[in-house]
Amino acid sequence: MSSEKSKPTVQTTGHAWDGDLQEFNNPLPTWWLWTFYATVVFAIIYWVLYPAWPVGGSYTKGMMNDITYTTADGKTKTTHWNTRALLLKEMQIAREEQAEYLKDINALSFEQIRSKPEKSAFANSMAKVLFADNCAACHQSGGDGVMGRYPNLLDDAWLWGGSFDKIQETIANGRTGSMPGFKASLSTKQISDVSDYVLSLSGNEADAAAVKRGQAIFSGQGGCAACHGADAKGQDFMGSANLTDKIWTIADVSGAETAAAKKEAVMNVVKNGKTRVMPAWKGRLSATEIKILTYYVHQLGGGK
């Protein structure tokens, strides 16, 4: 920097380090100075309008008294600017805007919604968002579920019933499906036999003698019939699966290649049992949201 060693016309701060290291004392650029003054003016206006200064146990609330919302008892309340009241106001405006559509959804029966394409489209598009935020983590975004863990909602087999009312009950209150394990009460041979019987119900090949023994266990010692019904079609008040159709929810029979693997899958369920929990949504979602989801899920899986 030796070439710029001295610029005699410009003032310096008067300090010198290392003999000749000096600091210029230039005036601030004008544009900068005026911007600075402008921020000061802005701050003062801001203090007057918005909550700003602490005073004792409270604070100045500012003069922007422009947030108006409706309180629980139906009165309107106007308050100083704050994000919580602003949110309340925005939510109320949004609710009013949606009210026209939601009113109909609330008032109409499921069948009526189905018969009106416009309402049906509205319900479905709203349901897609709700489903993605709340249900997809388990039932997957398409609703096809995860074999063994989360039931497929696209097929027309329902553990807990596929009518609108049943589905609504499922979503609102949640469900716990519990299939007990039998490894303590039945021998491996018996479990093998009863599994053969179960497989035969949906048209899978199985040893005829074993099926016969299995049938006796199913309605006798095993106690399977008490839950799955004597016809093994399942009972939707306890979510016991229908064992006579080709649709499986826990034992991955359809995904197994060989007959041995199919049997293994069924035996595993009978041996170890399975308890699965569908959470209740009524505390988290509104009645209207649950209704919309019910409509959506019902038509996903050819509802009853």
Partner 1 sequence: MKHESIETNAGLLIVLTLIVISIGGLVEIVPLYFIESTIEKVEVEGKETIHPYSPLELRGRDIYQREGCYTCHSQMIRPFRDEALRYGHYSLAAESKFDHPFQWGSKRTGPDLARVGGKYSNEWHVQHLIAPRSVVKESIMPNYPWLMKSLNYKNVRDRMRALKMVGVPYSENTAEYEANVKRFGEDVAKNLDILRAEENLLAQAASGNYDGKADDVTEMDAIVAYLQLLGTMVDFSKFDDGHFADFR
Max CA separation in the chain (angstroms):
114
Nearer Cβ to ligand HEC, position 122 or 182? 182
Query: Which is closer to partner 1, CB of 33 or CB of 94?
Result: 94
Least distance to partner 1, CB of residue 289, Å: 10
Binder of ligand HEC out of 206, 211, 239, 303 (CB under 6 A) = 239
Q: Which spans of this chain sit near partner 1 (rule: CB under 8 A)?
A: 15, 51, 54, 56-59, 69, 71-72, 77, 79, 82-88, 90-91, 94, 133-134, 136-138, 140, 146, 149-150, 276-279, 283-284
Contact status: 175 vs ligand HEC (CB under 6 A)? yes
| 281 binds ligand HEC per the rule CB under 6 A | yes
Q: Determine how β-strand 12-17 pairs with β-strand 274-278.
A: unpaired
Tally of CA atoms within 13 A in the half-sphere of 140 that contains its CB: 13
In the set 211, 222, 262, 303, which binds ligand HEC (CB under 6 A)?
Answer: 222
d(CA 111, CA 11): 87
| By the rule CB under 6 A, 267 interacts with ligand HEC | no
Q: Which does 158 bind (CB under 5 to 8 A by kind): ligand HEC, partner 1, none?
A: ligand HEC
- Told to check if 178 binds ligand HEC by CB under 6 A, we report yes
172 binds, among partner 1, ligand HEC, none (CB under 5 to 8 A by kind): none
Is 158 one of the binding residues for ligand HEC (CB under 6 A)?
Answer: yes
Angle, alpha carbons 221-227-228 (nearest 5°): 95
As to burial, measured by CB atoms within 10 angstroms (0-12 exposed, 13-18 middle, 19+ buried), residue 294 is buried
Residue 137 in contact with ligand HEC, rule: CB under 6 A? yes
Q: How many residues does the chain have?
A: 304
Q: Which does 76 bind (CB under 5 to 8 A by kind): partner 1, ligand HEC, none?
A: none
In the bound state with partner 1, the residue whose beta carbon lies nearer, of 50 and 245, is 50
Q: Which residues bind ligand HEC (CB under 6 A)?
A: 134-135, 137-139, 150-151, 153, 158-160, 167, 170-171, 175, 177-180, 182, 194, 198, 222-224, 226-228, 238-241, 243, 248-251, 266, 269-270, 274, 276-279, 281, 293, 297
